[in-house]
Chains A and B, each alone.
Chain A
Amino acid sequence: RKHIDNPYEINLMEELTLKGVTQYYAFVQERQKVHCLNTLFSKLQINQSIIFCNSTQRVELLAKKITELGYSCYYIHARMQQAHRNRVFHDFRNGLCRNLVCSDLFTRGIDIQAVNVVINFDFPKMAETYLHRIGRSGRFGHLGIAINLITYEDRFALHRIESELSTEIKPIPKVIDKSLYVAEFQEDSD
């Protein structure tokens, strides 16, 4: 910076937005989370999904569970080598697998059009983390749903995240309107 006179700074990073993402929560106990996720898999019309956990250990445990339940999934977390991580993400982006389990690796939000469902298997503590998981950059902004598995322990984080992001996470309805997240049901997709 000291070599440039009067630098003109521009921020090329597009801002993340929650616009277009319908956010729901399911109230669960820790021991109910896998059951809840299994039901979501069977009920939702998932094109591609990303499922977030709060630790690398839990990413591995959950990926194993999901496979046992009969769903295919990839997983990536911070303790994997970068080259391996890139390959898995590349394959997921190309649609080789429907579900991706991961920890917090995305600093710019997820920009995969095909992902129409994001599930916070573990609810994050910080608003910034929540935004990075759920938010979309304006350029790729499109409809989708986010489902948060909330335990009673998460109540303070829920309060903080809703107020810091000025957003509302609503209780999951009995039937989720497909036009909120399924491409062929969207009326005005441009």
Chain B
Amino acid sequence: GKDDVCFGTDVNMEKDFDFETNLALFDKKTVMGEIQSGKQQGPPPG
């Protein structure tokens, strides 16, 4: 499950995590806009 994926894999820690490359994979403005306008169907409230 999710915990195995998160804690089970050994990653190479010699290199720094690449924040910039990963941020580029998420277009926050567009995604937030789509949620706002209902284009992305969210989970039911509660």
Binding site for B on A (CB under 8 A): 25-28, 30-36, 38-40, 42-43, 57-58, 61-62, 64-65, 69, 150, 152, 155-156, 158-159, 162, 171-172, 174
Contact = CB atoms under 8 A, between A and B. Distances in A.
Nearest to A121: B6
B6 A38 contact: no
Contacts, number: 72
Interface in B1-46: 2-3, 5-7, 9, 11, 13, 16-17, 19-20, 22-23, 25-26, 28, 31-32, 35-36, 40, 42-43
Interface of A is mostly: helix
B3 to A, nearest CB: 6
A26 B9 CA distance: 20
Given A58-B6, A155-B31, A159-B35, A27 B13 contact: no
Contacts of B6: 30-31, 33-34, 58, 61
A156 B35 contact: yes
Given A27-B22, A57-B3, A156 B43 contact: yes
Interface of B: 2-3, 5-7, 9, 11, 13, 16-17, 19-20, 22-23, 25-26, 28, 31-32, 35-36, 40, 42-43
Given A69-B13, A150-B26, A174-B19, 6 more contacts: A26-B17, A32-B22, A43-B16, A155-B35, A162-B32, A172-B19
Contacts of B20: 174
B32 A158 contact: yes
A61 B3 CA distance: 8
B16 A28 contact: no
Contact of B26 (A27, A31, A33, A43): A27
Nearest to B36: A159
A98 B37 CA distance: 43
A40 B5 CA distance: 20
B5 A31 contact: yes
